[in-house]
Amino acid sequence: MRLNELQPAAGSKRNARRVGRGIGSGKGKTCGRGHKGQKSRSGGRIRAGFEGGQQPLQLRLPKYGFNSRLARVTAEVTLSELDKLEATEITVDVLRDANVVNRGTLRAKVMLSGSISRAVTLKGVRATKGARAAIEAAGGSVLDDDDAPVAAAPAADEVPAASAESAAIETENENEDGES
């Protein structure tokens, strides 16, 4: 077989019906388009969903759901992508500089996809449970925003001074009302 002998399989290509070639052909005169109207004209196709000016179905039905604005600035990173990076401390800036994520990315999350063979430290980058386990098994660690120390709430007996003063004023007002 040579290039000049290539041809489609027999029967896979049918010749187009020649229309407008006399009444004996069965497709003469109006060529199967009927009489007049938009659909008989050349280029007379109507767009999908158009209902002749009536409010179309997609506009009659209510909208639902929403598009998260955070999803626009959040990226997913795989373990195999992390393994290719030279840096041992991974931040969103490092991912951006290495072109792993887009320039507009502000947040990233590591997914359990692929494998990692070296120790890396994630800072400010989230990770799924499986990805976290894989990173820690390779000798790395994950220090995301959730691990930052949180200020403890004040104990019940430690009432701020301003609150104590307002409580004392309220009790005085109640006492005056009771005496009269």
Under a CB-based contact definition with an 8 Å cutoff, are residues 92 and 72 in contact?
no
Residue 150, pLDDT score: 43
Quote the tokens at residue 80: 């195999």
Q: What is the pLDDT of residues 71-121, one digit of tens each?
A: 999 999 999 999 999 999 999 999 999 999 999 999 999 999 999 999 999
Rounded to the nearest 5°, which phi and psi values hold at 61? -85, 145
d(CA 84, CA 138) in angstroms, rounded, equals 14
Residue 1, pLDDT score: 87
Under a CB-based contact definition with an 8 Å cutoff, are residues 87 and 121 in contact?
no
Q: Which amino acid is at 21?
A: R
Left, alpha or beta for 31 (phi > 0: left; psi -120 to 50: alpha)? left
> Which one has a higher pLDDT value, 144 or 142?
142
CATH classification of 78-147 is 3.100.10.10, yes or no? yes
Tokens 């008989």 label which residue? 40
Report the mean per-residue pLDDT for the chain: 86
Residue 160, pLDDT score: 57
pLDDT higher than threshold 90 for residue 128 = yes
Q: Which amino acid is at 31?
A: C
Strand (E) or helix (H) holding 82:
helix 79-84
pLDDT higher than threshold 70 for residue 174 = no
